[in-house]
Amino acid sequence: MGEAVIVIVALMFVLFLALGAYVTVKVVGAAKRGVDRTVAQARRSVEDTTLRAKSFAQPGAVGELAQLRLKLRMSMRSTQDALHARVVDDPTLKESLDLFGRLSVHGHELDEDLKRLESEPDKVHLAELLPDLRRRTEQITKSADSLRGAARDRAHRLADDDLESLSAQIDVEAGALRHWTTEPSPEPAQTPPPWPDAPSPERPAAQQSWPQPPQHGEAQEPDRPAIAPTDLSPTYPWQKKARPESTT
């Protein structure tokens, strides 16, 4: 019995250690992701500030490269944030996210090309490359802006449809709540009497139950004899009274 208790205690101790290690790894991983995210955001802020400074401070091809990079990064980042924020409520945007992922590949390639050309010493060669770089930047940012605008319009449309449906339901409910007077229901129509049965072979026509319609001009009066009988015969004065018969 004591050995079983020791084994159970040992297993619980190992289980607690494993659970503690798992929780520690999760906490450390979450903290690391939070730190990485913070570092990435800080790095982006520094790069954006640097690009803005270059676009104003350095004229010529180098300044234009900075403007192209800044325009590309802002457009792609705004579209990415908008799609990720709305896909939670609208799963149909997953296809848009897939398209944006494919567009991001071209965007990262262009950003790397622009970043590398910032240190290009041959300004003439750099000036020759600028038209193609402008075209690629415009094409990518236009597609990103189109996705972002479509997602925004769809979200507004869904919100308007939901609001219209909700308003209609509220109007119906408000009308039902204001209908506090009950109108009297119409009285049911009286059921007409049933028609009498038609005569059957077992029942002669003389005994049928069909009512006989009254003849035209005849009043419905009870039957009575044509001449009322007289109760007593008339008595005349010249008649003698009848005598009673003698008992003798």
**What's the confidence (pLDDT) of residue 226?**
46
Non-local (6+) Cβ contacts of 50 within 8 A are: none
pLDDT grade for 146, boundaries at 50, 70 and 90: very high
Average pLDDT over residues 141-169: 90
**What's the confidence (pLDDT) of residue 176?**
86
Q: What is the pLDDT of residues 11-67, one digit of tens each?
A: 777 777 777 777 777 776 666 666 556 665 666 666 767 777 766 667 778 888 989
**Is 69 part of any domain?**
yes
**Is 232 part of any domain?**
no
**Is 219 part of any domain?**
no
User: Residue ranges of the alpha helices (H) in the chain?
Assistant: 2-57, 61-86, 94-117, 123-178
Non-local (6+) Cβ contacts of 118 within 8 A are: 54, 62, 65, 66
Cβ atoms of residues 72 and 51 within 8 Å: no
Q: State how far the Cα of 131 lies from the Cα of 56, in Å rounded to an integer.
A: 20
**What's the confidence (pLDDT) of residue 201?**
57
**Is 157 part of any domain?**
yes
pLDDT grade for 141, boundaries at 50, 70 and 90: very high
CA distances from 234 to 227, 230, 239, 242, 244 (A): 17, 10, 11, 15, 21
**What's the confidence (pLDDT) of residue 10?**
74
Cβ atoms of residues 178 and 170 within 8 Å: no
**Is 217 part of any domain?**
no
**Is 141 part of any domain?**
yes
Q: What is the pLDDT of residues 56-111, one digit of tens each?
A: 667 778 888 989 999 999 999 999 999 998 888 888 889 999 999 999 999 999 99
Q: What secondary structure does DSSP assign to 62-88, as a single string?
A: HHHHHHHHHHHHHHHHHHHHHHHHHTT
**Is 154 part of any domain?**
yes
Name residue 206's amino acid.
Answer: A
Q: What is the pLDDT of residues 105-131, one digit of tens each?
A: 999 999 999 999 888 888 888 888 999
**Is 231 part of any domain?**
no
Q: Name the token pair of 144.
A: 């990103």
**What's the confidence (pLDDT) of residue 198?**
59
Shortest CA distance to 146 belongs to which of 204, 206, 83? 83
Q: State how far the Cα of 68 lies from the Cα of 62, in Å rounded to an integer.
A: 10
Q: What is the pLDDT of residues 199-228, one digit of tens each?
A: 555 555 545 555 555 555 555 555 555 445
Shortest CA distance to 51 belongs to which of 128, 114, 104, 109? 114
Domain coverage including residue 34: 22-164
Number of domains in the chain: 1
Q: State how far the Cα of 154 lies from the Cα of 87, in Å rounded to an integer.
A: 11
Model pTM greater than 0.95? no
